[in-house]
Amino acid sequence: MHAGDYEAASAFLGDWGPFQRTVFFLLSLSIIPNGFTGISIVFVGDTPPHRCLIPDSANLSAAWRTSAAPLEESNGISRPSQCARYQLHVIKEFSDQGLVPGLDVNMSDVPLEGCSDGWEFDRSTYMSTIVTEWDLVCNEKWKPPLTSSLLFAGVLTGSFLSGQLSDRFGRKLVLFGTMAVQTIFTLLQVFATSWVMFCAFFFVVGMGQISNYMAAFVLGTKILSTSVRIIFSTLGVCLFFAVGYMTLPLVGYYVRDWRTLLLVLTVPSFLYIPLWWFIPESPRWLHSQGRVEEAEVILRNAARINRVMAPEAIFQSSQAEPKAEKVQAHNICDLVRTSNICFISITLSLVWTILSIGYFALSLNTSNLHGNVYLNCFISAAIEVPAYTLAWLLLRCCARRYCLFSTLFLGGLVLLFIQLIPQDLTSLSITLEMVGKFGITAAFSIVYAFTAELYPTVLRNTAMGTCSMASRLGSISAPYFVYLGKYSKFLPYTIMGSLTLFSGLLSLLLPESRSHPLPETPDHMQMFRWCKKETKFHKCSQQSWQE
C-alpha cells in the first residue's frame, strides 16, 4: 500500500482529535528518560578534587600534612599535585625533628612517590561517584571518558539493530521492550561491584536508549498525520527530551550518591507500564504485514475516541491486496553511486559527526565549568527549549541551507570567542558556552529535517540511518574533547569552534530543499554546489540506476 493510499483511508480520523493528542503526549512522555540516561554520567562519573591520602598512622604535623603534595601548574594556576606526594618516610623524619616545610627544608630536594595509600577526595559536592569508589584517577584517569564512550558505542550498536527489530516485530513491542532493557540495566548498574561491570551494563543501556527513542519517533510519525508529525518530530520529541535533561540536575542536587541517584531516576520508569494499554501499534505497519483486521480494529477504536464514524470498509480490497510490482532494491552503496549524491552524503555525514561532537562535548563539560555544577547543568538543559523552538520557527519560514548555516556559524563563532575572555570573567565564559550550545542544539534539530528532505524516497531511511551512524562516531569521541580540557582549558573550545564553523561553511554547498517537492528517485535530487548540471544525467549514472 502506498503512503497516499493509507493517508486517504485514515483521513476520516481528522488531524488533531483526542486520539492523536493522546498518542502525541504519551509517546513524547516516553522520551523523558532518554534525557537523563545519557547525561547522568556528568554527575555519576565526575572527578572531584583529590590528593594523595596521608594515613593517620603517619603522625605528621599539621604543616607537613598540608604540604605533603608538591605544587603543580595547570592552566596557569598552581595547585597541590593530585597524583604524587613527597616520600612519606622522609617528611615524617622532618616532622619529628620539628622542621618547617619551605623554611627549614628545601622542598625541591625531597623525593616524590605515588599515592600508594590511595586518595582523599573532596566530598563537598558529591558523597560518591564511580571515580571516588573505584579510584579512577591518575594512572586510571583514562577510564571516565571511556565510560561515556562505551555508552555511545552501545548507542551505535542499537542504531544498527533498532530499525531491523522494529520492522520485524513492530514499533510498539520494540518501544516497550527497549524501555524495559534501559530500565533494568540501569538498575543493574546500581549493584555493579566493579568498573568493568558498570561499563558492560552501561553499554546495554545505550543500546536500549537509542532503540527506545527511534521506536517512539517512528511510531509517532507513522500514526500521526502529516501536519502533526512535523511538530511531533521537532517540538514534541525534542522538548520532552529537554524536560528529562532538566530533571537530572534537579534530582542530582538533592541526591549526591551515584548509586542512589541512578535508583531515584530509574524507579519512576516502571510507571510507564500502563502505557502499553494506551499506545497502539502502528496501523500502517500492521497493514504492511498483512494484518489488516488488527489495523482496522485500531482505526475504529481511534474513530470512537475522536467521535467520528468509520466507514464500513476502511481498507479497500485493492489496498489490502496490493498488486505485485517489481520494486528496485536499494542499499547503502547507492548513497555514493553518482558524484552528486556522493558529495551530499559525505557533506551531511561530516556535518552530523561534528554536530554530535559539539552537542555531547558541551553537555558533558558542564561539570568542568566554574560555579555550581548543578546550576550549570540545568542551564545547559534549559537552553535547549528556546533552541528547539527557534529551529521550528526557522524551518517554517527560511531556506534550509541558511537555517543550518546560521545556527552552526553562531555556535562555532561564540566557542572561538571563549578563549579571548579573561579568566576572571567566568560568568561571561559560561554565557558564551551556553550560546554555543544553543546554536549547536538548534542546528541538530534542523539537520534532521533537512537531511530527510534532500534524499529520495527510495533512499531516505537508508540515508537517515547512515547519517545517524556518523553522528554516533562523533558522540563516541566527544568525551575525549572534554578530556583535552585537563591539559589546556581553551583547546576543546578552539577545536570544536573551528570544526563547527567548518561544518557551517560546508552546509552552504548543499542544495536547497525548501519549496521543492520531495524527490522520489536519485535523478530527482537537487544538485550539490560543486557538481555540474549534466552530472545528474550522466549516461553511466543513468545506466547504473537502471541496472
Say yes or no: 34 and 56 in one domain. Answer: no
Dihedrals phi, psi of 344, to nearest 5 degrees: -65, -45
Say yes or no: 207 and 354 in one domain. Answer: no
Say yes or no: 16 and 77 in one domain. Answer: no
Q: How far apart are CA 35 and CA 216, in angstroms?
A: 14
Of the listed ranges 14-18, 514-518, 538-542, the least confidently predicted one is: 538-542
pLDDT of residue 127: 93
Instruction: Among 121, 146, 165, give the residue marking a domain's end.
Output: 121
Determine the distance from the C-alpha atom of residue 470 to the mean position of all C-alpha atoms in its chain, rounded to a whole number.
13
Q: How far apart are CA 343 and CA 360, in angstroms?
A: 26
Say yes or no: 526 and 450 in one domain. Answer: yes
Say yes or no: 150 and 195 in one domain. Answer: yes
Number of CB atoms found within 10 A of residue 425's CB: 11
Residue partners of 412: CB distance under 8 A and separation at least 6: 436, 439, 496, 497, 498, 499, 500, 501, 502, 503, 504
Instruction: Among 270, 297, 322, give the residue marking a domain's end.
Output: 322
Residue 173 has pLDDT above 80, yes or no: yes
Instruction: Give the 3-state DSSP-derived string for 348-405, with helices as H, strands as E and coil as C.
Output: HHHHHHHHHHHHHHHHHHHHHCCCCHHHHHHHHHHCHHHHHHHHHHHHHHCCHHHHHH
Return the DSSP state at 61: -
Say yes or no: 171 and 269 in one domain. Answer: yes
Q: How far apart are CA 427 and CA 257, in angstroms?
A: 28
Do you know the residue count of the chain?
A: 547
Considering only residues 91 and 488, tell me which one the structure prediction assigns the higher pLDDT.
Answer: 91
Q: Is residue 330 part of a domain?
A: no
Say yes or no: 280 and 375 in one domain. Answer: no
What is the percent of the chain with per-residue pLDDT over 70, rounded to a whole number?
A: 85
Instruction: Give the 3-state DSSP-derived string for 118-156, with helices as H, strands as E and coil as C.
Output: CEEECCCCCCECHHHHHCCCHHHCCHHHHHHHHHHHHHH
Say yes or no: 132 and 109 in one domain. Answer: no
Of the listed ranges 134-138, 159-163, 316-320, 451-455, the least confidently predicted one is: 316-320
Say yes or no: 82 and 178 in one domain. Answer: no
pLDDT of residue 344: 82
CATH of the domain at 542: 1.20.1250.20
Q: Is residue 350 part of a domain?
A: yes
Q: How far apart are CA 455 and CA 460, in angstroms?
A: 5
Closest CA to 367 of 419, 453, 291, 433: 433
Q: Is residue 329 part of a domain?
A: no
Q: Which domain holds residue 23?
A: 1-48+122-322
Instruction: Among 322, 348, 372, give the residue marking a domain's end.
Output: 322
Q: Is residue 331 part of a domain?
A: no
Residue 428 has pLDDT above 50, yes or no: yes
Number of CB atoms found within 10 A of residue 533's CB: 8
Say yes or no: 450 and 534 in one domain. Answer: yes
pLDDT of residue 246: 92
| Distances in whole angstroms, Cα of residue 503 to Cα of each of 174, 407, 409 | 34, 11, 9
Q: Is residue 487 part of a domain?
A: yes
Terminal Cα-to-Cα distance of the chain (whole angstroms): 25
Determine the distance from the C-alpha atom of residue 234 to the mean position of all C-alpha atoms in its chain, rounded to a whole number.
15
Please state the domain count of the chain: 3
DSSP bridge partners of 78 = 73
Confidence of residue 472 (pLDDT cuts 50, 70, 90): confident
Q: Is residue 246 part of a domain?
A: yes
Per-residue pLDDT reduced to its tens digit, 270-286? 988 898 888 888 787 77
pLDDT of residue 326: 44
Determine the distance from the C-alpha atom of residue 493 to the mean position of all C-alpha atoms in its chain, rounded to a whole number.
19
Per-residue pLDDT reduced to its tens digit, 346-356? 888 899 999 99
Residue 139 has pLDDT above 50, yes or no: yes
Region of residue 102 (left: phi > 0; alpha: psi -120 to 50; beta: else) = left
Return the DSSP state at 101: B
Q: How far apart are CA 419 and CA 403, in angstroms?
A: 26
Per-residue pLDDT reduced to its tens digit, 108-137? 888 888 888 889 999 988 999 999 999 999
Q: How far apart are CA 382 and CA 391, in angstroms?
A: 15
pLDDT of residue 525: 64
Say yes or no: 218 and 95 in one domain. Answer: no
Say yes or no: 109 and 147 in one domain. Answer: no
Residue 469 has pLDDT above 90, yes or no: no
Average pLDDT, the chain: 81
Q: Is residue 111 part of a domain?
A: yes
- β-strand pairing of 85-86 with 112-113: antiparallel
Q: Is residue 328 part of a domain?
A: no
| Distances in whole angstroms, Cα of residue 223 to Cα of each of 27, 72, 92, 229, 277 | 11, 60, 73, 8, 16
What stretch of H or E contains 519?
none
